């Protein structure tokens, strides 16, 4: 099951740039089909987990909005319901597939190695033919693509989610410490080369904080901590120099880089205040936003650039409470595992961008990793 799930997740990631709907439809059908097969194989005995229930509740909340006619764009809400159902399925499949430690380790290692390969391809394409997806497909981009990622911050969030795996492996796998340090440095360098400011800060935090936490817990000695730290700094510096740091340096020089995001957040908060209980409908932020816009530069604003504010605007306080509860439930196992803190970094990134919006396959990937995290600490029950 882990290889089928991995194949579905990888297909979703590799095709999420495709503008037409067949790719996401194929992804959803495959994921739902795997879920159905898993339920039949378990004779309909479902693994019950609070996060799975909450994720399913998010989809059900969209149904409530449709039933009461509170969605300002019912079609977008219908699409969002399907996406949240896919998130619930991905979490559940991650939980079931990774319940046993050997399978979980295989699954997580496969995700990490796939991410490394994807990052290498992304950086090569970034410098070779930046305005074409995979260096081949011209879909009219107005910013550089990184492999299948057409937005640098979504690429950064993807790397954040797996970087913790590499850093934790460098700490615990003493026979291959240097190899995992190089992998960690390569992942970090790819985020810097992509030019994501928040992503670079969060990725650096993972590289620095995780070894310190391991030392504080007694997992490694002070000598080992120093060795990992020096090797990480040297490898990161070398790979950043190779991959390129000019883009991130230029973007860090921009005055008030988050001014537009702050205005969008204020508009989203105003939307949430107007409809605190029901919201405007899941998936409808861009439809409701124009009435609350604080500026108009002639460009279409697709997302709030703050998933937390967008969840509150689209789903009201109930949706915001669902997401807070999901993070609260996963915070402890994330801290215990170390690698799960990478997933917490994605939720932090969501305060200034939209890693969970726009690309359903990417959100489902995050939730599949959350399922693996929950499975690691025995949080599900048959």
pLDDT for res 145: 92
Segment 183-199 shows an average pLDDT of 92
Quickly state the pLDDT bin for 377 (edges 50, 70, 90). low
The pLDDT of residue 378 is above 70:
no
Q: How far is it, in rounded angstroms, from Cα 208 to Cα 217?
A: 15
Identify which of 147, 34, 156 has the alpha carbon closest to the alpha carbon of residue 91.
34
Rounded to an integer, what distance in angstroms lies between the CA atom of residue 213 and that of residue 236? 20
Packing angle of the helix pair 152-172, 222-243 (nearest 10 deg): 150
Q: What pLDDT sits at residue 46?
A: 60
Q: What local confidence, expressed as pLDDT, does residue 252 receive?
A: 75
**Sorting pLDDT into bands at 50, 70 and 90, what band is 45?**
low
65-95 pLDDT, tens digit each:
999 999 999 999 999 999 999 999 999 999 9
Q: What average pLDDT score do residues 304-314 get?
A: 97
Q: Of 32, 35, 30, which Cα lies nearest the Cα of 15?
A: 30
Q: What are the angstrom distances between the C-alpha of 67 and each of 57, 279, 318?
A: 15, 13, 16
Quick one: what percent of the chain has pLDDT higher than 90? 73
Give mean pLDDT, residues 319-341.
Answer: 96
Judged against a pLDDT cut of 80, whether residue 8 lies above it is answered with yes
* Residue 292, pLDDT above cutoff 80: yes
Q: Would you say the C-alpha torsion 266, 267, 273, 278 has a positive or negative sign?
A: negative
Confidence of residue 382 (pLDDT cuts 50, 70, 90): very low
Q: pLDDT class for 44, splitting at 50, 70, 90? A: low
* 99-155 residue pLDDT tens: 889 999 999 999 999 999 999 999 999 888 889 999 899 988 888 999 999 999 999
C-alpha distances in Å from residue 153, one per residue of 193, 194, 202, 283, 294: 12, 8, 11, 20, 24
Structure tokens at 38: 């898993």
The model's pTM: 0.94
């Amino acid at each position: 099951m882990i290889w089928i799930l991995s194949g579905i997740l990888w297909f979703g990631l590799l095709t999420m740039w495709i503008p037409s709907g067949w790719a996401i439809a194929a992804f959803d059908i495959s994921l739902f089909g795997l879920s159905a097969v898993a339920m039949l194989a378990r004779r309909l005995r479902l693994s019950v987990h609070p996060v799975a229930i909450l994720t399913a509740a998010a989809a059900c909340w969209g149904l409530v909005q449709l039933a009461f006619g509170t969605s300002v764009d019912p079609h977008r809400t219908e699409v969002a319901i399907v996406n949240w159902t896919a998130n619930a399925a991905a979490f559940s499949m991650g939980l079931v597939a990774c319940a046993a430690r050997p399978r979980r380790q295989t699954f997580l290692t496969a995700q990490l190695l796939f991410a490394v390969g994807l990052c290498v391809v992304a950086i090569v394409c970034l410098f070779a033919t930046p305005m074409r997806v995979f260096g081949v497909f011209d879909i009219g981009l107005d910013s550089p693509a990184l492999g299948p990622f057409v937005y640098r911050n979504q690429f950064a969030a993807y790397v954040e989610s797996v970087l913790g795996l590499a850093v934790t492996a460098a700490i615990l796998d003493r026979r291959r410490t240097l190899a995992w340090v190089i992998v960690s440095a390569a992942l970090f360098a790819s985020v810097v080369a992509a030019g994501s400011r928040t992503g670079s800060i969060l990725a650096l935090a993972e590289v620095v904080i995780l070894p310190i936490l391991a030392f504080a817990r007694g997992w490694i000695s002070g000598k080992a901590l120093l060795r990992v730290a020096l090797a990480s700094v040297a490898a990161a510096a070398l790979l950043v120099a190779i991959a390129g740091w000019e883009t991130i340096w230029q973007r860090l020089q921009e005055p008030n880089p988050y001014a537009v995001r702050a205005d969008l957040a204020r508009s989203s908060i105003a939307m949430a205040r107007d409809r605190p209980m029901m919201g405007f409908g899941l998936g409808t932020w861009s439809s409701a936003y124009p009435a609350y816009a604080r500026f108009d530069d002639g460009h279409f604003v697709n997302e709030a650039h703050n998933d937390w504010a967008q969840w509150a605007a689209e789903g009201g306080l109930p949706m915001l409470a669902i997401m807070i509860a999901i993070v609260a439930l996963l915070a402890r196992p994330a801290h215990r595992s170390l690698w799960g803190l990478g997933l917490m970094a994605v939720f932090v990134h969501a305060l200034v961008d939209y890693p969970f919006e726009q690309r359903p396959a990417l959100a489902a990937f995050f939730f599949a990793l959350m399922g693996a995290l929950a499975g690691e600490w025995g949080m599900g029950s048959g």
